[in-house]
Amino acid sequence: MSGPSIQVERLVFAYPDGRQALFGVDFTVEPGERVALLGPNGAGKTTVVLHLNGILGSVTGGTGSGRIRIGGTDLHREHLAEIRRKVGLVFQDPDDQLFMPTVRDDVAFGPANLGLRGSELDDRVFEALSEVGMQDHADIAPHHLSFGQRRRVAVATVLAMRPEVLVLDEPSSNLDPASRRELADILSGLDVTLLMITHDLPYALQLCERSLLIDDGRIVADGKTRDLLADPDLLSAHRLELPYGFDPLSVSGPER
């Protein structure tokens, strides 16, 4: 890719029912960066990330303005297929991502669309499921899995596409502590640009050197995760709370 991985300029958006969710969002993520997108419920986090591969925005309805570029390519209708290959989006709700009869079919769906077949496709599916520890569940129907297991399969559907930019909407929610840690190990081992929405502030600190804080449809802070989390006035002004006893200055962050 050439240019920033993600470039969002003056993004304004109102849903079709008239609800204005974004009031002018600007940020840039450079290749290889790992950035957390923080903010209270209803701040506009999901709305922002659903724009990054054209699920929301000028292509699909609602009213808005602004400019989005992925790896220097404008997000326009004619580039949508290319951008969806580059940007892997793990939805907030895994049930929005899984729609095939088996886990294997769901993970194979994207790579098969790219033209992979036979053993190459099987290998890709096995590899992605192994990365999330779900390789023994390939023949199960997604709706027979637990929520946390469905979340891991949803991550695998995106990893199977080997995206250049990985965007995750609350990846650690509803995971048990071991699964949460295992997912952190997976994410920190990937060679991708990462943008991760999370309410899990220690997770943001562990995985992302930089954080963006959004509230009421505007970016209100952009800096080192440690600095944001060490600012109690900033956190309380935007309804963010650290877990009891957690000191962001006593924990080591990502090695970068």
Ligand X SMILES: Nc1ncnc2c1ncn2[C@@H]1O[C@H](COP(=O)(O)OP(=O)(O)OP(=O)(O)O)[C@@H](O)[C@H]1O
Which residues would be at the binding site for ligand X (CB under 6 A)? 15, 17, 19, 21, 39, 41-47, 92
Closest by alpha carbon to 85, among 161, 157, 3, 159? 161
| Alpha-carbon span 37 to 22, nearest angstrom | 14
CB under 5 to 8 A by kind: which of ligand X, Mg ion, none does 53 bind? none
CB of 182 to ligand X, least distance (A): 23
Structure tokens at 83: 């951008």
**Residue whose CB is nearest to Mg ion in the complex, by number:** 46
Q: Does 172 bind Mg ion (CB under 5 A)?
A: no
User: Which listed range, 43-51, 102-110, 155-163, 235-243, lies at the site for Mg ion (CB under 5 A)?
Assistant: 43-51
Which part of the chain contacts Mg ion (CB under 5 A), choosing from 9-17, 19-27, 38-46, 243-251?
A: 38-46
Q: Select from 5, 7, 46, 172 the one that contacts Mg ion (CB under 5 A).
A: 46
Cα Rg of the chain (Å, integer): 18
* Minimum distance, C-beta of residue 216 to ligand X, in the bound complex (Å): 9
Q: Around Cβ 126, how many Cβ atoms within 10 Å?
A: 15
* Residue 47 interacts with Mg ion (CB under 5 A): yes or no: no
Work out the angle at residue 47's Cα, subtended by the Cα atoms of residues 41 and 52, and round it to the nearest 5 degrees.
140
C-alpha–C-alpha distance, residues 40 and 216, integer Å: 9
Q: Which of 107, 19, 109 is nearest to 64 (CA)?
A: 19
**Is 211 one of the binding residues for Mg ion (CB under 5 A)?**
no
Separation of first and last alpha carbons in the chain: 21
Closest contact distance (angstroms) between CB of 143 and Mg ion is 22
What's the closest the beta carbon of residue 208 comes to Mg ion, in angstroms?
17
Q: Which stretches of the chain bind Mg ion, using CB under 5 A?
A: 46
